[in-house]
Structure 1
Amino acid sequence: MEILVIRHGQSEADLLGVHEGRADFSLTVLGEQQAKKMAAYVASHFPPDIIFTSPLKRARNTASMLQEVVGCDLQVENDLMEFNNGVLAGLSRKEAAIKYPLTSSGRPIHIPIENGESELEFRFRAENVFNKIVHDYQDYQRVALVSHGGLISRLLQTFLQLPNTSGCMFATGDTGIHLLEIKKGSRLIKFLNKQEHL
């Protein structure tokens, strides 16, 4: 089973300098162009049998463009949403630093942000959705997951079976693609953050 993990294209929040998270911004014109290029590239090189997407606009619109080219089923999966950043969603970074400052040691991983989730809850959500899809769709040759940078990083931590406290993070650019494979109990990373389609 191959798992394509894809980040959405550029969103309006990227230009506004705000905390995005659960704030539901749309793709920019550039983001739509990026998504179309990604869709054409994936369709010709790694077409999925099914696509799962976060319901947030920037991911869902990216996934819809991929579905239009590939023609497979598209399912919305709420657990693919970005970190629930609670009170920070949509706030400018400057305003957030004043209203909700962090100590030098940061927020402990078990304590949720106000009206949001903790880092531990975030990681567990990634573990849950990854294992659910791998188990329920194991007969599919290739599935695609369209999501967000933070959640994708946790999915990769999950795939590599890294501990919650490892501190390893994985960057994903706009419409960056990761290709993972699970075969006979082995886990293989074929590539990370491919953006040659751009």
Structure 2
Amino acid sequence: MAAEPRLLLVRHGESEANVAGVLQGQSHGALTTNGRKAASQLAARLANLAADERPTSVLSSDLHRAAETARIIAGPLGLTPEPTSIAREWNVGVLDGSPASVLHEAVLASSLPYWDFLPSGGESLRAVRDRASTLAEMIQGELRDPALAPKRLRTALVTHGDFIRMMLSMTEELPIEDAVKLVLRNTSITELALVDRSWRIVRIDDADHVEE
């Protein structure tokens, strides 16, 4: 019986903006020392998996905080990260660099659901969900290609919190109104399995590799 394709959604390592408590959206951001340490711990965890459980490819957002995390993870696996702008974080437009509380206040003032709020110069979470759907469909298409399927069988995707939440909201198990509430720690693993052409949730926010 063929193994179920797996998608490991990895949130990037801790960034300077995470520590400061400000929105970084599609600005690049830099990892902190702790962020690099946790990424290295995750790299060791993945490299020590059995051969039939290790990632076979690494995709990542092209934003620096995710791309650096991906490079740290990919090295011990002998893989080369593939950056893509599709996996970028929610574009919060003019709110980029503001305290996170400013976003919540703006959503309340709009009287819109969180996922429909459109920040000036940015995009809604529904638009992020559309990007997530595009990437998921791309991966499924590659899995149907005999030449690409072995590479995509177990893909680690290093991305961002809201992108992961929107990928989870595409499953039948987690509606968008619940997905937006999820807490996802830096470098945590959220895993999906492709079963009968539908993505199923295996685990959420697994950060057992992080040591203080």
- Fold agreement, TM-score > 0.5: yes
Report deviation, 1:47. 1.8
Matches within 5 A, 1:25-64: 25-45=29-49, 46-64=53-71
Q: 1:17 aligns with which of 14, 18, 21?
A: 21
Distance 1:83 1:11, change over 3 A: same
Identity value in percent: 29
Question: 1-side partners of 2:22 and 2:70: how far apart?
Answer: 23
Say whether 1:125 aligns with 2:131.
yes
Aligned equivalents of 1:108 and 1:40: distance in 2? Answer: 37
Q: Note the residue ranges of structure 2 that are not aligned, 5 or more in a row.
A: none
Cα offset, 1:186, TM superposition: 5.2
Please show how residues 124-143 of structure 1 align to structure 2 within 5 Å.
124-138=130-144, 139=149, 140-143=152-155
Normalising by the residue count of structure 1, what TM-score does the alignment of the two structures yield?
A: 0.87
Q: Which runs of 5+ in 1 are unaligned?
A: none
**Alignment counterpart, residue 188 of structure 1, candidates 196, 200, 203:** 200
Question: In structure 2, how many angstroms separate the alpha carbons of the residues matched to 1:101 and 1:183?
Answer: 36
The runs of at least 4 aligned residues of structure 1 exceeding 3 Å deviation read 99-102, 106-111, 159-163, 183-188
In 1: Cα distance, 2:140 partner to 2:41 partner: 27
The reply on whether 1:7 has 2:5 as its aligned counterpart is no
Q: Are the equivalent residues in 2 in contact too, given 1:153–1:171 (CA < 8 A)? A: no
The Cα of 1:123 is off from its aligned counterpart by 1.4
TM-score by length of 2: 0.82
Using a 3 Å threshold, how does the CA distance of structure 1 residues 43 and 162 change in structure 2: closer, same or farther? same
C-alpha separation in 1, matches of 2:107 and 2:178: 24
Q: Secondary structure at the match of 2:109?
A: coil
Give the 5 Å matches for 1:37-116: 37-45=41-49, 46-93=53-100, 96=102, 102-103=108-109, 105-106=111-112, 109-110=115-116, 112-116=118-122
Cα displacement (A) at 1:31: 0.3
- Following TM superposition, by how much is the alpha carbon of 1:107 offset from its aligned partner in structure 2, in angstroms? 6.1
